[in-house]
Amino acid sequence: MRQHRLALCKDHYPQWFIEQTQRFIEKYRMFTHQDRILVAVSGGKDSLALWDVLWQLGYEAEGLYINLGIGGEFAYSDESQQAAQKFADQRRLKLHIYHVEERRGESVPAIALRTHRGRQKPCAVCGLIKRHTMNQMARQLGFSVLATAHNLDDEVSFLFGNLLSWNLRQIPRQSPVLEAEEGFVRKVKPFIRFSERETAAYSIVRGIEYIEEECPFAEGSKQLQYKDLLNRLEEQQPGVKLRFLLGFFNAMEQGFIHPIEDEQGEVILNPCPSCGQPTSTGDLCATCRLFEEN
Amino acid sequence: MPVVLIYRKQKLEVEGTLTVREALQKLGLSPESHLIVRNGELLNENDILRNGEEVKVISAISGGAR
């Protein structure tokens, strides 16, 4: 690992990885052993690695798999669900499953096809439904923390994309921890300082059977382009991604980057009349509107 | 017989002997975004690949909705 100037054997790598995760959990005050943690799992390397690490650290962590109904040549969602279930069964862990089509009557690709938001690519609809469902399930099931496996590459490419388009509303919201607010569960990202290569290496060394196939809709996405570009830079400048992200967090902490105040003052959140989740619209929330739109 | 690298169900070939990092670079793949596994064992970037062996390239990068 050039950025850490560190070389570890296959026996010591998982130990280092687990210790580092615990260090990040404490550093960013993410949660304690008193919390009940819901881990969002996709069947991929990052989320199963996160669940595995939290399990090994003795946290009370259950999984949530959201079946989006993505098919194609490879039955992506069903195969991913099977991988997540197998992982849970092997460790006797509890996996909660939310099947979008069974609950909502339509799969994510079908919703995307008939709605304005998803017309070009289903990723925006998919992200909205996932964020909504994760929060809803965590609250309904009584979890105090929702953990996602966003890693260094996810965060750096997201920040880079937001800077390229000067998305000044989104930039100050990026953080290792999003505190709980009325109607919103606390959200944490324990892998935020690991590169995707490091989480993949952990999963391989630990023998975790994850889904290697990429979501069929991710091909050609801007996020993948940014990740590739930033990794080309990382090859030349080891540690540049971590410095970019930590520099941003540092600037946030020191008050150089501020959240934009809404012109109308504080945003008032009301419960959505359909699902009960908080929304600023005064009517149906953005997710429930997707199901009303024809 | 060159080194065979299985990448996304395709067979790619490079002439050995060379390191993992050199093999990935020869194929235009970033060593920051890819790992190589031999018989289920993760190789590090300085491990040597020799003609006649077959290894698997794993893409570490994934994308999609946040």
Tens digit of pLDDT for each residue in A129-143?
Answer: 999 999 999 999 999
pLDDT for residue A272: 86
Q: Encoding tokens for residue A205? A: 């060394």
Q: What is the CATH number of domain B3-59?
A: 3.10.20.30
Query: Which segments of chain A have a pLDDT < 50?
Result: none
Flag whether pLDDT at B66 surpasses 80.
no
Q: Encoding tokens for residue B23? A: 């093999």
- Integer Cα distance of A170 and A186 in angstroms: 18
pLDDT for residue A8: 67
Scanning B6-65 for CB atoms below 8 A from A yields 30-35, 37, 40-42, 44, 58-65
Average pLDDT of B26-51?
Answer: 93
Cβ contacts of A228 on chain B, cutoff 8 Å: 30, 33, 61
This model of the complex carries an ipTM of: 0.91
Q: Looking at the partner chain, which of B40, B59, B64 has a beta carbon nearest the beta carbon of A215?
A: B64
pLDDT for residue A3: 63
- Distance from chain centroid for Cα A229: 21
Inter-residue contact A191 to A30 (CB < 8 Å): no
- Integer Cα distance of A96 and A65 in angstroms: 6
Query: How far does A172 lie from chain B, in Å, by closest CA?
Result: 16
- Integer Cα distance of B48 and B38 in angstroms: 11
Instruction: Give this prediction's pTM.
Output: 0.92
CATH class, domain A9-260, is alpha beta
CB contact under 8 A, B35 and A197: yes
- Helix, strand, or coil (residue A88): helix
Q: Which of B22, B41, B46, B66 to mutate to test the interface with A (most CBs of A within 10 A)?
A: B66
User: How many CB pairs lie under 8 A apart between chains A and B?
Assistant: 80
pLDDT for residue A282: 76
Inter-residue contact A149 to A46 (CB < 8 Å): yes
pLDDT for residue A181: 86
In chain A, where are the structural domains located?
Answer: 9-260, 262-294
Give the DSSP letter string of A120-139.
S-THHHHHHHHHHHHHHHHH
